[in-house]
């Protein structure tokens, strides 16, 4: 599964060796990913100590494979060689990974991984018992380890920026922060207008209970209709929905609310979107950067595209409402307009990010990024996180969580690491930009959605995004795929048009 | 999770380093085991290429961790040191693994693992299509690789003996072959007597269909009643039942026949028995040989004990029949005697090993061992395997498979490797010996089974077998646990008594 034509006498041996190492590294990472999926979906609780050891060992073995002196020598030799564009991209990406790992001691890597596994357990207990004090020491130790890691990567750089680049390489923090400011300045007044001037929306799904088995059958049917390749995926339940895998095996999970069938359905479609990205990566490049997804923001653009620009459109509900009614016959009188309104309703009094609507969601993200930054930069004490969280919720959304379970303990992310939240909002912004580019390119997108013909949409994304893997840095990929740099323009146009219409503003 | 008292100034550093390496090795092996479980139980079919790469990389990394020069140096140093008995056992076991790996090239290990993954796929296709020719080339290549491995381990030794010691170290092949001869000489006439002189047994379960969901619920309840620690295990379905895991997470699988609820139930109890062994290993020795199971024969003694010496006894059916009737109310008139007879029926016309009864089973094993040996030693061509298989079935059991699916393609084992079948029969022999020792030691075993008090039985096995891990070589463990060397005596007494009574001989 190599990129290189081995028969070409000019092809340096070093390149073949680098690709072989990249494949081994990928295999170790993908093995860890299977162990992680299993831990969250299948593993009996008592398996934790052994699983933590397994993940820690794989992490340290992966680290050793990467920071090997040979890798450094191959990279230096290849950087002084004429390479094809694809080869140069492979070298660039492995150089980036190497440089981010070579000065990080193996012990630290192992300690971090072991600590993450333990912290995940502690976080689950703390969340279940609404006990932030139980979580705080583990969190503090974890961020110390991450700061140590950031200092090892680049002792002269702000640790927050170093960690940010884990998830969003090649997309400057300044660009993202500028876009976040635009969003906040635009969304806060829009949400206020909706609250004060918006019409009352119908709530056709409220007041019923929706059993889990039927909701699961609905989710299964939804992803089948959207074109989920079942020979390369599966849908299960987990407390926190996620996607895990590669181009051969991309699995998704969802979870259910008894009082609301839309919550699970949109989570399922969201994770399906993530899976389309993995499954659109070139299979013959499995193991090289050309067969790997690019960054958290690009990944999230795929999930947001399917969740919002397909799953929350009126044409989709014209197509899908009959299926929903088959599973829940008591909804037989619900109209498309009502369903469309219900799935797009804005509810600023919601405390939970993963249940947030398309507008307030981004204020949840901005809040987290601010806390993240202050904590990593040492300006915020761990003990003050609940207070600061609650104050910011008050300031941005006018609500205050009554428990930390509904506040700063709600997300699993902080039991793994820090500074990864920007990708969610970047994803929404990019999804709107990609949707606009697709509609320039592809006739009758709405009609296709209305007919349930989703393949052309997925194929467009594969052609313009997935198939490139890590061929281009994020900024360049966005230009290649959409013809312009990342901009908030399309997202803001899209939400203005949609919510002005929906709420009769 | 180390064995050694680190505060003891006499404890050599080399020992701590060796234990640390052993833990890493265990973690890599256990990670592979999770990937294997997932592949057989959860993975979508299209995941195979990536999974094969992952398993191959982990296998080669594990190999490198083991054959490292440091390990050789630590072992030499420790072998010249005064050690506690436990430390000496750890050193002995790692020496054995080291010696069996150090001369095997990493490339060969990787090739073997990748080939096993592919062969498994090919075997499934060949079995589904009754097409041995499809399987033969992969099988031939696999045995060539295994022969190459045997030659690397010990070029002066018969390759069959070398491979045999993978599964049954410290139990001489001569001992096993002597016991096999005793069994064959005793079982063939016993089976003939049953066929010619035995009474007609009742068949209370025949003529009904048993839906899969209810059978699964029955299996789940059975293992709960037997004392399966659910926080450390789970029961799923797979085409071929198996157990996978360690002392923190030991999972089992079963599968269902529509016309027979006993088949799945006994398979489930069998795998539960394997799980009790893993779960009885000391948790604080996870990662060292003292926390690992000993050999295939000892493992199988635990599954056979629960399957036969508990699950096929009259007291068990006095206890369990009401539960069976709750799940399948149409069986309400079945008596304990009838159920006991049905689960112990001998059917020499059965072609399938995993469905075989307690007596004919061992002739299935002996047949495989003979083919194994001839093939590995080069006396049997791959193309002749179906013919030889069928001839031997005819000779030993008086039946001839009509398809290879029901013949030499029935077992998955040959898609992994060779020479591992002895353990099954050794397990039955040892189970009877352990059962006799337990009954010497523990009052009222039958009464406990009748009351559903299984904990004392499991605890006896943990005390006498599980908790030792690899502390003793197999022969020594058998003496420690039962007071005498491995002998066919108890097994033959047990089957004579049981079947003479059951069939009114």
Q: Quick check: B218 and A19 in contact, CB under 8 A? A: no
Q: Which residues of A touch B287 (CB under 8 A)?
A: 53
pLDDT score of A11: 60
Query: Model's pTM, two decimal places?
Result: 0.91
Question: A322: left (phi > 0), else alpha (psi -120 to 50), else beta?
Answer: alpha
Residues of A contacting chain B (CB within 8 angstroms): 1, 23-24, 26-28, 30-32, 34-35, 38, 42-51, 53-54, 56-58, 60-61, 229-234, 245-249, 251, 283, 286-287
Residue B465 within a domain? yes
Rounded average pLDDT over B280-291: 98
Asked if B286 lies within 8 A of A53 by C-beta distance, the reply is yes
Q: What is the residue range of A19's domain? A: 13-157
Asked if B48 lies within 8 A of A248 by C-beta distance, the reply is yes
Q: A289 and A410 share a domain? A: yes
pLDDT score of B110: 79
Q: Quick check: B297 and B168 in contact, CB under 8 A? A: yes
Mean residue pLDDT across chain A = 94
pLDDT score of B169: 87
| Gap between the Cα atoms of A351 and B20, Å rounded | 46
Cα–Cα–Cα angle for B68, A32, A167, rounded to 5 degrees = 115
Give which of A300, A61, A47, A60 is closest to B58, Cα–Cα. A61
Q: Cα B241 to the chain's mean position, in Å?
A: 11
Residue A419 within a domain? yes
Q: Which residues of A touch B28 (CB under 8 A)?
A: 54, 57-58, 61
Q: Where do runs of H (alpha helix) occur along A154-260?
A: 159-167, 173-197, 212-226
> B11 pLDDT band (50/70/90 cuts)?
low
Q: Cα B82 to the chain's mean position, in Å?
A: 36
Residues 6+ apart with CB under 8 A from B385: B132, B136, B371, B375, B408
pLDDT score of B419: 62
Q: Torsions phi, psi of A471, nearest 5?
A: -55, -45
| Gap between the Cα atoms of A66 and A23, Å rounded | 11
Q: Does the structure show a pLDDT above 50 at B378?
A: yes
Q: Torsions phi, psi of B206, nearest 5?
A: -75, 155
Rounded average pLDDT over A38-55: 95
Give which of B249, B250, B291 is closest to B23, Cα–Cα. B291
Q: B146 and B178 share a domain? A: no
pLDDT score of A9: 44
Catalytic (active site) residue A93: no
Q: Does the structure show a pLDDT above 90 at B381?
A: yes
pLDDT score of A247: 98
Q: A323 and A438 share a domain? A: yes
pLDDT score of A354: 83
In the 3-class helix/strand/coil scheme, how is A438-456 assigned residue by residue? HHHHCCCHHHHHHHCCCHH
Question: B93: left (phi > 0), else alpha (psi -120 to 50), else beta?
Answer: alpha
* Burial category of B332 from C-beta neighbours within 10 Å (exposed 0-12, middle 13-18, buried 19 and up): exposed
Residue A166 within a domain? no
Give which of B272, B280, B273 is closest to B220, Cα–Cα. B272
Where a domain ends, among B93, B123, B157? B157
Question: B446: left (phi > 0), else alpha (psi -120 to 50), else beta?
Answer: alpha
Q: Which residues of B touch A51 (CB under 8 A)?
A: 248-249
Q: Does the structure show a pLDDT above 90 at A4?
A: no
pLDDT score of A114: 82
| Gap between the Cα atoms of A108 and A59, Å rounded | 11
The tokens for B399 are 């039946």
CB pairs under 8 A between A and B: 123
Which value, to the nearest 10 degrees, does the dihedral of the CA atoms of residues B29, B31, B32, B33 take? Answer: 90
Rounded average pLDDT over B380-385: 95
Rounded average pLDDT over A56-76: 94
End-to-end CA distance of chain B: 55
- The tens digit of pLDDT for each residue in B113-136 reads 888 888 988 999 999 999 999 999
The tokens for B253 are 């699988």
pLDDT score of A116: 87
State whether the Cα torsion A176-A178-A183-A184 is positive or negative.
Answer: positive
A27, A34, A50 ranked by CB distance to B246: nearest = A50
pLDDT score of B2: 43
Q: Which residues of B touch A2 (CB under 8 A)?
A: none
Q: Quick check: B385 and B371 in contact, CB under 8 A? A: yes
Total domains in chain A come to 2
Rounded average pLDDT over B492-505: 96
Residue B7 within a domain? no
Which value, to the nearest 10 degrees, does the dihedral of the CA atoms of residues B494, B497, B500, B501 take? Answer: -120
pLDDT score of A170: 87
pLDDT score of A225: 98
Give the three-class secondary structure for A159. helix
- The tens digit of pLDDT for each residue in A359-412 reads 999 999 999 999 999 999 999 999 999 999 999 999 888 899 999 999 999 998
Residue A3 within a domain? no
B32, B50, B58 ranked by CB distance to A248: nearest = B50
B34, B42, B233 ranked by CB distance to A35: nearest = B34
Q: Does the structure show a pLDDT above 60 at B8?
A: no
Q: Torsions phi, psi of B245, nearest 5?
A: 145, -155
Q: Where do runs of H (alpha helix) occur along B281-421?
A: 296-304, 314-327, 336-344, 361-376, 385-397
| Gap between the Cα atoms of A170 and A100, Å rounded | 14
Q: Does the structure show a pLDDT above 50 at B9?
A: no
Give the three-class secondary structure for B244. strand
Q: What percent of chain A stands above pLDDT 90? A: 88
Q: Which residues of B touch A49 (CB under 8 A)?
A: 248, 283, 286
Q: Does the structure show a pLDDT above 90 at B12?
A: no
Q: A144 and A274 share a domain? A: no
Q: A141 and A252 share a domain? A: no
Q: Quick check: A202 and A341 in contact, CB under 8 A? A: yes
Residue B152 within a domain? yes
Residues of B annotated catalytic, as ranges: 271
Q: B207 and B90 share a domain? A: no
* Burial category of A20 from C-beta neighbours within 10 Å (exposed 0-12, middle 13-18, buried 19 and up): middle
| Gap between the Cα atoms of B252 and B279, Å rounded | 12
| Gap between the Cα atoms of A29 and A289, Å rounded | 13
ipTM of the complex: 0.90
DSSP string, B254-287: E--BTTBHHHHHHHHHHHHHHHHHHHHS-GGGTT
Q: A178 and A153 share a domain? A: no
Nearest CA in chain A to B60: A24
Q: A224 and A121 share a domain? A: no
Asked if B232 lies within 8 A of A35 by C-beta distance, the reply is no
| Gap between the Cα atoms of A258 and A323, Å rounded | 19
Q: Which residues of A touch B109 (CB under 8 A)?
A: none
| Gap between the Cα atoms of B87 and B75, Å rounded | 11
Residue A128 within a domain? yes
Q: B188 CA to chain A: closest CA distance, Å?
A: 44
Rounded average pLDDT over A442-449: 96
Rounded average pLDDT over A322-329: 98
pLDDT score of B316: 98
Give which of B324, B283, B279 is closest to B306, Cα–Cα. B279
Strand partners, B250: B245
CATH number, position A270 = 1.10.1370.30
Mean residue pLDDT across chain B = 94
Residues 6+ apart with CB under 8 A from B412: B120, B123, B240
- The tens digit of pLDDT for each residue in A144-164 reads 999 999 999 999 999 999 999
Rounded average pLDDT over B239-255: 96
- The tens digit of pLDDT for each residue in A113-125 reads 888 888 988 999 9
- The tens digit of pLDDT for each residue in B72-97 reads 999 999 999 999 999 999 999 999 99
DSSP string, A371-426: HHHHHHTT-S-GGGHHHHHHHHHHHHHS---SSSTTTTTS-SGGGT-SS--HHHHH
A31, A42, A45 ranked by CB distance to B231: nearest = A45
Where a domain ends, among B123, B157, B191? B157
- The tens digit of pLDDT for each residue in B446-455 reads 999 999 999 9
Where a domain ends, among A106, A129, A157? A157
Asked if B31 lies within 8 A of A54 by C-beta distance, the reply is yes
Residues of B contacting chain A (CB within 8 angstroms): 1, 23-24, 26-28, 30-32, 34-35, 38, 42-51, 53-54, 56-58, 60-61, 229-234, 245-249, 251, 283, 286-287
Q: Which residues of A touch B50 (CB under 8 A)?
A: 27, 30, 246-249, 286
State whether the Cα torsion B249-A220-A431-A87 is positive or negative.
Answer: positive
A435-440: long-range contacts, CB 8 A cutoff, minimum separation 24: A435/A305, A435/A309, A435/A490, A435/A494, A436/A482, A436/A490, A436/A494, A437/A464, A437/A481, A437/A482, A437/A483, A438/A464
Q: What percent of chain B stands above pLDDT 70? A: 97
Q: Does the structure show a pLDDT above 90 at A272?
A: yes
Q: Quick check: B372 and B423 in contact, CB under 8 A? A: no
> B417 pLDDT band (50/70/90 cuts)?
confident
| Gap between the Cα atoms of B186 and B172, Å rounded | 22
Distances (CA, A) of B50 to A54, A115, A141, B30, B43: 19, 28, 35, 18, 11
Q: B129 and B198 share a domain? A: no
Q: B39 and B137 share a domain? A: yes
Q: A266 and A141 share a domain? A: no
Residue B1 within a domain? no
Q: Quick check: B401 and B390 in contact, CB under 8 A? A: yes
Say which residue the tokens 């070409």 belong to.
Answer: A8
Asked if B54 lies within 8 A of A38 by C-beta distance, the reply is no
Q: B75 and B212 share a domain? A: no
Q: A257 CA to chain B: closest CA distance, Å?
A: 25
């Amino acid at each position: 599964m190599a990129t290189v034509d081995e028969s070409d006498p000019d092809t340096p041996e070093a390149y073949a060796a680098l690709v072989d190492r990249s494949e081994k590294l990928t295999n170790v990472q993908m093995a860890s990913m299977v162990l992680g999926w299993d831990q969250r979906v299948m593993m009996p609780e008592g398996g934790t100590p052994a699983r933590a050891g397994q993940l820690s060992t794989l992490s340290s073995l992966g680290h050793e494979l990467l920071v090997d002196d040979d890798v450094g020598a191959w990279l230096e030799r290849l950087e002084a060689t004429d390479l094809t564009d694809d080869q140069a991209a492979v070298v660039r990406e492995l150089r980036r990974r190497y440089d981010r790992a070579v000065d990080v001691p193996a012990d630290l890597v192992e300690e971090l991984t072991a600590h993450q596994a333990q912290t995940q357990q502690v976080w689950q207990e703390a969340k279940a018992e609404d006990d932030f004090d139980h979580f705080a020491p583990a969190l503090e130790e974890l961020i110390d380890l991450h700061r140590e890691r950031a200092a090892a990567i680049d002792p002269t750089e702000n640790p927050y920026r170093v960690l940010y680049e884990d998830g969003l390489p090649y997309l400057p923090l300044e660009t993202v922060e500028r876009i976040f400011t635009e969003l906040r300045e635009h969304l806060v007044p829009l949400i206020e207008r909706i609250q004060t001037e918006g019409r009352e929306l119908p709530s056709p799904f409220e007041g019923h209970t929706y059993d889990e088995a039927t909701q699961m059958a609905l989710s299964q049917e939804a992803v089948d209709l959207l074109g989920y390749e079942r020979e390369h995926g599966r849908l299960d339940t987990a407390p926190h929905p996620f996607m895990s895998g590669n181009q051969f095996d991309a699995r998704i999970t969802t979870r259910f609310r008894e009082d609301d069938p839309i919550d699970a359905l949109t989570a399922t479609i969201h994770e399906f979107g993530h899976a389309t990205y993995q499954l659109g990566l070139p299979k013959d490049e499995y193991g090289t950067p050309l067969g790997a997804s690019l960054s958290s923001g690009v990944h999230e653009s795929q999930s947001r595209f399917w969740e919002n620009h397909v799953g929350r459109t009126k044409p989709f509900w014209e197509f899908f409402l009959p299926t929903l009614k088959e599973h829940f016959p008591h909804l037989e009188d619900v109209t498309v307009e009502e369903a469309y309104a219900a799935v797009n309703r804005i509810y600023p009094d919601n405390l939970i990010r993963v249940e947030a609507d398309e507008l307030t969601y981004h204020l949840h993200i901005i809040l987290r990024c601010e806390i993240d930054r202050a904590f990593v930069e040492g300006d915020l004490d761990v003990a003050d996180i609940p207070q600061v969280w609650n104050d910011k919720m008050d300031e941005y959304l006018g609500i205050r969580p009554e428990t930390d379970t509904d506040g700063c303990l709600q997300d699993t992310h902080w039991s793994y690491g820090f500074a990864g939240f920007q990708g969610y909002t970047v994803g929404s912004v990019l999804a709107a930009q990609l949707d606009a580019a697709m509609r320039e390119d592809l006739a009758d997108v709405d009609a296709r959605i209305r007919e349930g013909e989703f393949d052309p949409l997925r194929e467009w994304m594969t052609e313009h995004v997935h198939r490139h893997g890590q061929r281009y840095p994020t900024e360049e990929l966005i230009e290649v795929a959409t013809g312009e740099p990342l901009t908030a323009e399309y997202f803001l146009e899209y939400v203005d048009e949609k919510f002005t219409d929906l709420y009769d503003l």
